[in-house]
């Protein structure tokens, strides 16, 4: 275990076993606990610490206080050859999302493309995890989700009226790393704002507003996110809200009231898988993707730029390094996990 000034390096396997043990301690079945832990550790490996095991204490406390169901009975409300609508039974978002994306993949093998939506679910961590499930199958994966609160301003607005919804694409390549686009509709996911605060950093200008609608760079004062690209992020937030909300029978974050049924007020997810071989030979497709990646990467760079990266390439490189050398996690990140472990009487492996 390598210790730095504010980081402790941990190994993936040990972190995954530890995370799974915490989930199992609050009643999550081992199969689900292992699957969620694996996805959260994979997210840490990719350097997306805001959506990895740092979020685990919040999920576990949600289970303990009855806000999340650890043993859901996920069931289909509607189904056809190339679609399905699932009720997640208030599950951990990862659990229902793994189920839904796998179902979309299975259906896409037969139909070429399939969509599965989910309602009555919870926060599902990093969107990229579920889109990437399609890659080993020679498929393109996509997903988005309706977030829980109206925390992003409309373009030209100064109060939270939109959800800061994420969306992710994963596209297979041949020899190059896959293209993985994972982004929020605002300048950053709120989890990243929390990470800035944990690390004592100021936010870049133009990202957020205070509760009074004033610009700030202090993550502690950040209450309203601004849409990335102005009207572009604003438009994406509306579209993703409809895919993860209205299409699942849910309600937009800005229109929730105390009378909204919980199963419709909770998060909704949208997943699709495209089976590449139904459209063209997979080898031909991935060769074309590789060629495009290389042309873009080798294009003329602006002054001071050392390398042009493709979407998801930085995260892919970080994961290769983490698998080789371990995951460097902030001490406060690990302290929060240790505090939870103490409550649940689970041994901490890094001390």
Q: Check which CATH number belongs to the domain holding 205 and give it.
A: 3.30.60
- Residue 303 is predicted with a pLDDT of 96
Are 232 and 87 found together in one domain? yes
Are 148 and 3 found together in one domain? no
Q: Averaged over 16-22, what is the pLDDT?
A: 98
List pLDDT tens digits, range 53-103: 999 999 999 999 999 999 999 999 999 999 999 999 999 999 999 999 999
> Does the pLDDT at position 250 exceed 70?
yes
Q: Check which CATH number belongs to the domain holding 18 and give it.
A: 1.10.1530.10
Are 178 and 264 found together in one domain? yes
Are 40 and 155 found together in one domain? no
- Residue 20 is predicted with a pLDDT of 98
Q: Check which CATH number belongs to the domain holding 138 and give it.
A: 3.30.1370.60
- Residue 259 is predicted with a pLDDT of 86
Per the structure, the count of domains in the chain is 3
Answer whether residue 306 is part of any domain. no
Phi, psi dihedrals of residue 228, rounded to the nearest 5°: -65, 135
Are 113 and 200 found together in one domain? no
Answer whether residue 24 is part of any domain. yes
Answer whether residue 160 is part of any domain. yes
Answer whether residue 101 is part of any domain. yes
Answer whether residue 219 is part of any domain. yes
| Residue 5: band (very low, low, confident or very high) from pLDDT cuts 50, 70, 90 | low
Answer whether residue 315 is part of any domain. no
Answer whether residue 323 is part of any domain. no
Phi, psi dihedrals of residue 79, rounded to the nearest 5°: -155, 145
Domain containing residue 212:
194-225
Answer whether residue 322 is part of any domain. no
List pLDDT tens digits, range 259-283: 888 888 889 999 999 999 999 999 9
Contact 74, 95 (CB under 8 A): yes
List pLDDT tens digits, range 33-61: 999 999 999 999 999 999 999 999 999 99
- Residue 351 is predicted with a pLDDT of 72
Distance separating alpha carbons of residues 48 and 67, to the nearest angstrom: 25
- Residue 191 is predicted with a pLDDT of 82
Are 161 and 250 found together in one domain? yes
- Residue 255 is predicted with a pLDDT of 87
Are 141 and 46 found together in one domain? no
Are 128 and 249 found together in one domain? yes
Percent of the chain with pLDDT over 90: 87
Are 11 and 76 found together in one domain? no
- Residue 318 is predicted with a pLDDT of 97
- Residue 273 is predicted with a pLDDT of 98
| Tokens read off for 262 | 């919980």
The widest CA-to-CA distance across the chain, in whole angstroms, is 56
Are 180 and 162 found together in one domain? yes
Helices (H), the chain: 12-25, 30-45, 56-64, 93-111, 128-131, 190-198, 231-244, 262-265, 282-297, 313-325, 331-344
Are 97 and 158 found together in one domain? yes
| Residue 1: band (very low, low, confident or very high) from pLDDT cuts 50, 70, 90 | very low
Distance separating alpha carbons of residues 132 and 101, to the nearest angstrom: 10
Nearest to 336 by CA among 1, 19, 11, 17: 19
Percent of the chain with pLDDT over 70: 99
Are 12 and 108 found together in one domain? no
List pLDDT tens digits, range 139-184: 999 999 988 788 999 999 999 999 999 999 999 999 999 999 999 9
Phi, psi dihedrals of residue 138, rounded to the nearest 5°: 70, 35
List pLDDT tens digits, range 169-181: 999 999 999 999 9
- Window from 3-17, 37-51, 104-118, 120-134 with minimum mean pLDDT: 3-17
């Amino acid at each position: 275990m390598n210790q730095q000034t504010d980081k402790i390096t941990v190994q993936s396997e040990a972190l995954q076993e530890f995370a799974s043990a915490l989930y199992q301690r609050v009643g999550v079945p081992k199969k689900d606990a292992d699957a969620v832990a694996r996805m959260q550790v994979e997210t840490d490996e990719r350097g997306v610490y805001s959506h990895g095991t740092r979020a685990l204490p919040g999920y576990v406390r949600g289970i303990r206080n009855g806000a999340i169901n650890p043993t859901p009975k996920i069931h289909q409300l509607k189904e056809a050859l190339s679609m399905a609508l699932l009720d997640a039974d208030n599950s951990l978002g990862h659990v229902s999302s793994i189920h839904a994306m796998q179902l979309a993949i299975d259906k896409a093998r037969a139909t070429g493309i399939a969509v599965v939506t989910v309602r009555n679910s919870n926060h599902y961590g990093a969107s990229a995890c579920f889109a990437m499930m399609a890659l080993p199958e020679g498929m393109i994966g996509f997903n988005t989700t309706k977030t829980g609160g109206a925390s992003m301003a409309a373009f030209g607005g100064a109060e939270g009226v939109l959800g800061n919804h994420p969306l992710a694409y994963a596209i297979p390549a041949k020899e190059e790393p896959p293209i993985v686009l994972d982004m929020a509709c605002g300048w950053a996911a709120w989890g990243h704002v929390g990470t800035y605060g944990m690390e004592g950093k100021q936010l870049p200008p133009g990202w957020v507003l205070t509760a009074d609608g004033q610009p700030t760079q202090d993550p502690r004062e950040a209450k309203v996110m601004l849409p990335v690209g102005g009207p572009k992020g604003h438009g994406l937030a509306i579209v993703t809200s409809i895919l993860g909300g209205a299409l699942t029978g849910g309600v937009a974050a800005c229109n929730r009231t105390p009378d909204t049924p919980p199963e419709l007020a909770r998060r909704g997810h949208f997943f699709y898988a495209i089976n590449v071989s139904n459209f063209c030979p997979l080898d031909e497709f991935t060769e074309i993707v590789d060629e495009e990646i290389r042309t873009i990467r080798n294009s003329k760079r602006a002054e001071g730029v050392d390398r042009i990266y493709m979407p998801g390439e930085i995260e892919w490189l970080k994961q290769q390094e983490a698998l080789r050398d371990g995951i460097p996690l902030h001490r406060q990140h690990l302290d929060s996990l240790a505090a939870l472990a103490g409550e649940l009487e689970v041994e901490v492996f890094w001390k």
